[in-house]
Amino acid sequence: MKNLYAAAYACLMQTDLEDKLACARQLYADWQAGNCLRENTLDCPVLTISMPGRPAKPELVHPKQVKQRKLTTPEGRRALLHAVAHIEFNAINLALDAVYRFRDLPEAYYGDWLQVAAEEAYHFSLLRERLRELDCTYGELPAHNGLWEQACKTDHDVLIRMALVPRVLEARGLDVTPGMMQRLREVGDEPTIAILEIILRDEIGHVRIGSHWFRYCCAQRGLEPEATFRQLIREVLQGPLRGPFYTEARLQAGFSANELAQLEAMEKTWAEDAAYRVK
C-alpha cells in the first residue's frame, strides 16, 4: 500500500519527464485499485514548494519575453503547441499538489484530482508527440512560470486554490481554445485541432471538478459561492476576469448564467474605471 501524500509528493518533485508522466498515470490507477492510504505521517509534512520537479528545459522567462508568432507560419504553430504543452505540464503538478497539500477533504476529492493529473499527463504526451512531428522538442523554446506562481499564492487555503486555479486559470483555457482551433482550421492543421478538441473536452471536466470542490468548501464555511468568488477576484486577483467567455463551456463547467453575467459586469465596470483613471 502507498501513502497517498508521500506518493503524490514524489511524483510532484520528479524531474524526469517520462517518469513523471508514468507516475501520474500509475498513481491514479493505484488509487482506483484501492492501493493508496491517506496517512498524515511525520515523514510527509506539508511543505511550501517554490518550484516542483521539472526538467532543466524549457528556460523560464518573464511572460513578456515569450514571443507571440502568427499561426500562419510553422514557427507560430510550434510556439503555440509548445506554450500549450507547458501549460499541461504545469497542470500535472498543480493537480498533484492539490492532492499532496490539502489533507482534510472527502475521499472523492483525491480521486478527482488524481484523475485530473493523469489526464493532464495524457494531454502533455499528445502535444509533445505533435511537436515532434513539427520538428520541435518540448523545452526547445522558453516558457514562463505564471501557473506555478499562482499555485504558490494559493497554497494556504484549499477554497482559494479551487477558486483561482481551476475556475480562473484553467477556465481561461476554455475561453481561448475555440479561437485557436479556428485559426488552425484556416491553415489546415487538422492534427493539432484534434488534440485541442480532446483537451477542451477534458478541461471542461477539470473546471467542473474545481467548481464542485469550491462550492463544497464554501458550504463547509457557510459562504455563498458566487459572491465569495467575486470577492476573491477583487481581493486576490485585484482585477476582473478577462472576457469574452465561452459561455457554453463555462456553463458545463459549473458556472451559472447569473454568475457569468455578474463577471461580465465586473469586467465592464473595471474597464470603465480604468479608462476614467487614464483621463
Do residues 127 and 21 make contact, with C-beta atoms less than 8 angstroms apart? no
Q: Which residues of the chain fall short of a pLDDT of 70?
A: 271-279
Q: Tell me, what's the pLDDT at 90?
A: 96
Tell me the residue range of the domain where 265 lies: 2-47+67-278
Residue 61 lies in a domain: no
Write down the pTM of the prediction.
0.94
Q: Tell me, what's the pLDDT at 110?
A: 98
Residue 58 lies in a domain: no
Q: Tell me, what's the pLDDT at 241?
A: 85
Residue 59 lies in a domain: no
Give the residues across from 2 on adjacent strands: 36
Residue 255 lies in a domain: yes
Q: Tell me, what's the pLDDT at 272?
A: 63
In angstroms, the Cα distances linking 242 to 70, 171, 237, 257 are: 22, 10, 11, 17
Residue 124 lies in a domain: yes
Taking the C-alpha atoms of 78, 81, 85 and 91 in order, what is their torsion angle to the nearest 10 degrees? 150
Specify the DSSP class assigned to residue 143.
Answer: B
pLDDT in tens, 56-84: 999 999 887 787 778 888 899 999 999 99
Q: Tell me, what's the pLDDT at 279?
A: 41
Q: Tell me, what's the pLDDT at 271?
A: 67
Number of domains in the chain: 1
Residue 182 lies in a domain: yes
Taking the C-alpha atoms of 250, 251, 255 and 261 in order, what is their torsion angle to the nearest 10 degrees? 90
Cell (9 digits) for 181: 482551433
Residue 56 lies in a domain: no
Residue 231 lies in a domain: yes
Q: Tell me, what's the pLDDT at 273?
A: 57
> Residue 134 belongs to a domain with what CATH number?
1.20.1260.10
Do residues 12 and 49 make contact, with C-beta atoms less than 8 angstroms apart? yes
Q: Tell me, what's the pLDDT at 269?
A: 82
d(CA 59, CA 78) in angstroms, rounded, equals 16
Q: Tell me, what's the pLDDT at 275?
A: 41
